[in-house]
Amino acid sequence: MTHRLFLARELGIALALALLVAVTFAANPRFLSAQNVKDLLLGSTILAILAVGQAIVVITRNVDLSVGSILGLSAMATGVLFVGTPGLPVPVAVVAGVALGAVCGAVNGGLIAAARVPALVVTLGTLYVFRGLDHTWASGRQINAADMPRGFLRMGSATVLGVPVLALFAVAVLVAAGFVLRSYRSGRELYAIGSDPEAARLSGVPVGRRVFWAFVASGALAGLAGVLHAARYGTLDANAGLGQELNVVAAVVVGGVAIFGGSGSVYGAALGAVLLTTIGSALPVLGVNPFWQRAAVGALILAAIGLDRLLAVRLARRLQGARHGR
Amino acid sequence: MAADTAVARPGRPVWRSLLGSWDAAVLLALVVVIVVGSLTVDGVGNPRFYRFVVVEAIPIALIALPMTLVVVTGEIDLSVASVVGLTCAVMGQLWQLGVTSLPLLILVSLVLGCLLGGLNGLFVCVFGLPSLAVTIGTLALYRGLAYVVLGDRAVADYPVDWTRGMIAPIPGTVIPWFVLVVAVLAVLFGVLLHATPVGRALYAMGNNAQAAAYAGVAVLRTKFWLFVATGAVSALAGVFWTFRFASARADNATGLELSVVAAVLLGGVSIFGGRGGLVGVIAAVALLGTLRNALQLADVPANALTIVTGTLLIASVVGPNAVRAARGRLRRRPLAGRTPL
Amino acid sequence: MRITGVRAVATTVLAALALALGACADDGSDAGTGSGSGDAGNPTGTIKEGLKVAFLPKQVNNPYFDTSDNKGGKVAVEEFKGTYSQTGPSEASPSAQVSYINTLSQQQTDVIVVSANDKDAICGALTEAKSAGAKVVTYDSDTQPQCRDVFVNQATAEGIARSQVKLISDAVGPDGGEIAVLSATANATNQNAWIEMMKTELAKPEYAKLKLVATVYGDDQDEKSFQEAQGLLAKYPNLKGIISPTTVGVAAAARYLSGSSYKGRVQLTGLGTPNQMREYVKDGTVKAFALWNPADLGYLAAYAGGALASGIITGKQGETFTAGRLGQFTVGANGEIVLGDPFTFDASNIDQFDF
């Protein structure tokens, strides 16, 4: 039954996305030109990776507001590394960015799991702290695209059979995360923690450890997103990723991950990210005042949580009905 | 049995009920910052310093008042800054369309704030949706509407009398007269929270909404009106903001909600609800504002301040937990009670 | 963290007292750093030593302002033996600038050199700073004339507009076509002045084949400018050229075009720095662009401020002063001082510059 619910929700978003693309294509066929599709995929990649990480955290009934700051820190680290050691191979930079993100995630996870403090407050605090560290590190300067290695920047806009390399990163991350969450016991336990943390603890689930690693994963993915941001945009300053946390939470919520935890999937979150990015590109093409985009995102979030609540109530009633032998 | 619960009990003197030990700690920190700052940084302690601190703290202080009540009941409202922004945008657009009556502009803004807060209340209380998610949604929605109304423009040609008048000092002092408005509201909210049955009901709701409902508290109705009040006060802050900066823009006050929440949490209000008081919050607003301005005067870069704010915020929740654990009285709060945090 | 009742009361009383004392004191004790406030300037005077000069650009992490302030303004201030500092917000927002202006005036700065994010919004704070004794010089982007003493303009709005329109027209070719403008923030005084002049210029008969279809705003943020450029190309399939009169915007647009299928088919010009634009000129994305030397702008602004604070000029039309190695300058109408004409960079000369 939950499987059917999963299908319904994710399918719903996929359908909405398809509908949006179809309508916009009908209005302006250039919307699906090779360049535009490439731009769409590139634009949604970073948000999708962040959304996958955030989904892992939200499923456990927590939230990670510091992802934007971690992205900025990781992007700056990548830039500084390349400027400092010009011959650095690209994979090393990627690993370094991910590692930095993981460390930040560990700070979050440690405070939340060990000190039993609410994730909203802690990640709000680390949002400030990491951003401040980013600014201090950058000390006002900006890393220019001209200072970054050609190969790295080319990776930012290169394609393989028409699919951008960056999007392949996102797909790999998505498949890996989805697999772990579905097929590994530790992944399933995340859902248990989100549904009822006390019950999970009493059933022997190592709640603290799982939550810790969920935040490490979110941080590591934010770190990866930072490296890809550096590859895509080239020019970096201390404001990279500023304000992204709300877009990410929006993508996750729209993608069907219940803010209360316990349900949803990373596939839905990634689809949510793609949907939100596509709306941003589609609106100007449809001739809608692009300023409506933000409002549309807000309305979508409200609709999504309303829908989830409706589905949850229906499910609860159905379960009660089954229990009463109806 | 919490030593830092600011709840009135029989036999307890009023001021002791008002001043939990957390509140006192924040006040002490404020005094320390002022004293140390006056001695080490040139310009702190100067009357103009206080003036700027107060002017900049007014919007945060305003919104922190109803926000405290909201958080005490276990909810949260992250859309406040967007309400400020939308109010500014609507005022700006009305001004451009030729509405020049100040009372009318203010009235429209307040009504708008009530409506926006009411929408939040509708989603949370009537539809039963979690306030964190709802207000993240309305944060985006209201901010988006602000951009739809005003676009990228700024309306900045208000009469100088209004803009100067908004931050004009009380005659004989340097403190802006608007502080009196804030003070009146603070007293109102403070009395409501600490000295009326409604206030006690708020704490009850925050501790256990179901039990409170069984005890006869109109939980949903009260929460609804709290959201409306938050919207109205945020709109008032929007009016102040527009005239203080002499500029109505759709992106006014972006990020303000984080400052308000930080001040509320630093002021000792528990994010789970059921604990905390207004005195601590006001002291926390003053502390953060004074610290920020003192550091700016000392030419400490803004990033240092960001780091300090974040650390203080984390410390404000980790600290009490650590202290309690050390005393062996670790209170077993569920990892994430009713709220998805 | 237990604090006993008595101590709690004592702390509250202390806090209240401290605030009350500070608050109720009158503001009259502020002595401005007096400057020669005679009705006319003294053109033969020299700049006083020890002046505190603070630069407040639109945003601090912008390489254009990094050059103008740290490589121009700082050099000038050190030349006339003043104290230099640079401060400012990290995003181009007017309300953030207000906070910094207040801090600077509390620190008794003698000269505030500011590039305004909005024509009106920072006026209140600047007027308060002036009454506290500071001299206000706007550079790069002006405010309302009554809030500042002089405005140091890099070039006349007409000069900039003329150069930009000519560059895009040359790049697009004689057949003309649709063009768009990628600007900075919607309220930046200088941007709006230049765009207005560009529209006037485009109305001339020789540019009849060029049609301005859109103006979008990148807010001087790299990411947003990048996405706006992307959006322009998606929305206007027949777009032939983009003018981006902001260093952040033109660099972002160039980067987007260079990695896309529009490279070489859609022309780009604007106001950019040689270091940022070099590779795009070399790979053919951009044929030519313009700028002035930002370091010179900061240098001149610092000297203008020093001259003001020393009573050499008061901002009236016709007054003259010497700005170090740049020579003599005359104050124009409305307190405006112009640096010179924009300079065109292209493949033939781009390697000669390093900023």
Token output for C23: 């608050």
In whole angstroms, how far apart are CA B245 and each of B59, B74, B204, B240, C187? 12, 34, 40, 8, 14
The residues with which C211 forms a beta bridge, in sequence order, are C178
| C1: nearest CB among B46, B167, B323 | B323
Tell me the chain B residues in contact with residue C18 when contact means C-beta distances shorter than 8 Å.
31, 34-35
Contact B35 C18 (CB under 8 A): yes
Q: Can you give the residue range of the structural domain that contains A182? A: 2-323
Cα C119 from chain centre: 12
- B337 shares contact with chain C (CB less than 8 Å): no
Burial B25-53 (b: 16+ CB within 10 A, else e): bbbbbbbebbeebbeebebbbbbbbbbbb
Burial B170-201 (b: 16+ CB within 10 A, else e): eeebbbbebbeebeebbeebbebbbeeeebbb
Q: CA B134, CA B46: separation in Å to the nearest integer?
A: 43
- A136 shares contact with chain C (CB less than 8 Å): no
**Min distance A161 CA to chain B CA atoms (Å):** 37
Indicate if the pLDDT at residue A326 is higher than 60.
no
| B48: nearest CB among C3, C106, C187 | C106
pLDDT at B3: 38
Q: What is the pLDDT of residues C80-108, one digit of tens each?
A: 999 999 988 877 878 788 888 988 988 88
Contact residues, chain C to chain A, C-beta under 8 Å? 60-63, 66, 90-91, 221-223, 226-227, 230-231, 233-235, 237, 251-252, 255, 259-262, 275-276, 278-279
- Residue B271 makes CB contacts below 8 A (sequence gap 6+) with A118, A120, A121, B71, B76, B265, B317, B339, B341
Q: Is the dihedral of CA C177, C178, C181, C182 positive or negative?
A: negative
Contact B34 C1 (CB under 8 A): no
pLDDT at C12: 46
Q: How confident is the model at residue C28 (pLDDT cuts 50, 70, 90)?
A: very low
Instruction: Tally C-beta pairs within 8 A across A and B.
Output: 182
- A195 shares contact with chain C (CB less than 8 Å): no
Q: CA C194, CA C198: separation in Å to the nearest integer?
A: 6
**Min distance C267 CA to chain A CA atoms (Å):** 17
**Min distance B330 CA to chain A CA atoms (Å):** 10
Listed in sequence order, the DSSP H helices in chain B are 14-18, 21-40, 47-72, 80-96, 102-121, 131-150, 160-166, 178-195, 197-207, 209-214, 219-244, 256-266, 278-297, 302-326
SS (H, E, C) A280-303: HHHHHHCCCCCCHHHHHHHHHHHH
Contact C234 A39 (CB under 8 A): yes
Lowest mean pLDDT among A42-56, C35-49, C234-248: C35-49
pLDDT at C23: 43
Token output for C131: 């009454």
Q: Chains that contact A by 3+ CB pairs under 8 Å?
A: B, C
| A128: nearest CB among B139, B140, B313 | B313
The residues with which C139 forms a beta bridge, in sequence order, are C152
Contact B70, B227 (CB under 8 A): yes
**Min distance B23 CA to chain C CA atoms (Å):** 9
Contact C86, C54 (CB under 8 A): yes
- Say which CATH number the domain at A62 has: 1.10.3470
Lowest mean pLDDT among B86-90, B240-244, B283-287, B314-318: B314-318
| B139: nearest CB among A211, A238, A246 | A246
Contact B140, A301 (CB under 8 A): yes
Q: CA B210, CA B219: separation in Å to the nearest integer?
A: 9
Amino acid at A131: R
pLDDT at A325: 56
Q: What is the pLDDT of residues C122-140, one digit of tens each?
A: 888 899 899 989 999 999 9
- A39 shares contact with chain C (CB less than 8 Å): yes
**Min distance C264 CA to chain B CA atoms (Å):** 31
Tell me the chain A residues in contact with residue C279 when contact means C-beta distances shorter than 8 Å.
146
Strand A163-164 relative to strand A159-160: parallel, antiparallel, unpaired? antiparallel
Amino acid at C180: A
pLDDT at C217: 87
Token output for B28: 């002490």
- C30 shares contact with chain B (CB less than 8 Å): yes
- A298 shares contact with chain B (CB less than 8 Å): yes
Tell me the chain A residues in contact with residue B132 when contact means C-beta distances shorter than 8 Å.
63, 120, 259
Whole-number average pLDDT of chain C = 84
Tell me the chain B residues in contact with residue A238 when contact means C-beta distances shorter than 8 Å.
303
Q: What is the set of domains in chain C, with CATH numbers?
A: 40-154+294-339 (3.40.50.2300), 157-291 (3.40.50.2300)
Tell me the chain C residues in contact with residue B48 when contact means C-beta distances shorter than 8 Å.
27, 30, 106, 132
Q: Which of A212-226, B283-297, C10-24, C45-59 has the highest mean pLDDT?
A: A212-226
Phi and psi angles of residue B337, each rounded to the nearest 5 degrees, phi first: -30, -115
Contact A30 C221 (CB under 8 A): no
| Length of chain C measured in residues | 355
Token output for B267: 């002021």
Contact C136, C146 (CB under 8 A): no
Contact C246, C220 (CB under 8 A): yes
- A286 shares contact with chain C (CB less than 8 Å): no
Q: What is the pLDDT of residues B19-60, one digit of tens each?
A: 567 888 888 889 998 999 888 887 787 888 888 889 889 999
* Residues 93-152 in C contacting B (C-alpha not used; CB under 8 Å): 93-95, 98-100, 102-103, 106-108, 118-121, 123-124, 132
Q: How confident is the model at residue A2 (pLDDT cuts 50, 70, 90)?
A: low
Contact B16 C8 (CB under 8 A): yes
- Residue B224 makes CB contacts below 8 A (sequence gap 6+) with B118, B121, B122, B124, B125, B126
| C255: nearest CB among A34, A140, A145 | A145
Q: CA C23, CA B173: separation in Å to the nearest integer?
A: 6
- Residue A44 makes CB contacts below 8 A (sequence gap 6+) with A170, A273, A274, A276, A277, A278
Which of C2, C4, C7, C11 best probes binding to B when mutated, by most B CB atoms within 10 angstroms?
A: C11
Cα A151 from chain centre: 26
Tell me the chain A residues in contact with residue B258 when contact means C-beta distances shorter than 8 Å.
124, 127-128
**Min distance C102 CA to chain A CA atoms (Å):** 21
Q: What is the pLDDT of residues A105-145, one digit of tens each?
A: 999 999 998 877 888 889 988 998 998 898 888 776 677 77
Contact B174 C27 (CB under 8 A): yes
Strand C320-322 relative to strand C83-86: parallel, antiparallel, unpaired? unpaired
The residues with which C181 forms a beta bridge, in sequence order, are C215, C243
Distance spanning both ends of chain B, measured CA to CA = 24
Contact A281 C260 (CB under 8 A): no
Contact C342, C155 (CB under 8 A): yes
What angle, 0 to 180 degrees and rounded to 10, lies between the N-to-C axes of helices A207-233 and A34-59? 160
Tell me the chain C residues in contact with residue B329 when contact means C-beta distances shorter than 8 Å.
none
Q: What is the ipTM of this complex?
A: 0.84
Q: What is the pLDDT of residues B132-176, one digit of tens each?
A: 889 989 998 999 999 899 887 778 778 878 888 888 888 888 888
**Min distance A312 CA to chain C CA atoms (Å):** 38
| B310: nearest CB among A128, A260, A298 | A128
Q: How confident is the model at residue B14 (pLDDT cuts 50, 70, 90)?
A: low
C-alpha torsion B292→B294→B296→B298, nearest 10: -150
Tell me the chain B residues in contact with residue A126 when contact means C-beta distances shorter than 8 Å.
310, 314
Indicate if the pLDDT at residue A45 is higher than 50.
yes
Contact B314 A61 (CB under 8 A): no
Indicate if the pLDDT at residue B286 is higher than 90.
yes
Tell me the chain B residues in contact with residue A248 when contact means C-beta distances shorter than 8 Å.
none
DSSP structural state of residue A50: H
Contact C251 A141 (CB under 8 A): no
Which of A154, A233, A236 best probes binding to C when mutated, by most C CB atoms within 10 angstroms?
A: A233
Q: What is the pLDDT of residues C157-173, one digit of tens each?
A: 899 999 999 999 999 98
Contact A126 B314 (CB under 8 A): yes
pLDDT at B12: 57
Structural domain total, chain A: 1
pLDDT at B11: 57
The residue behind tokens 């930079």 is A93
- A146 shares contact with chain C (CB less than 8 Å): yes
* Residues 162-221 in C contacting B (C-alpha not used; CB under 8 Å): 185-187, 217
Phi and psi angles of residue C352, each rounded to the nearest 5 degrees, phi first: -85, -5
Q: CA A197, CA C162: separation in Å to the nearest integer?
A: 67
Closest CA to C312 of C331, C334, C298: C331
Which of C230, C262, C354 best probes binding to A when mutated, by most A CB atoms within 10 angstroms?
A: C230
Q: CA C179, CA C168: separation in Å to the nearest integer?
A: 9
Contact B175, B286 (CB under 8 A): no
Closest residue of chain A to C67, computed from CA coordinates: A141
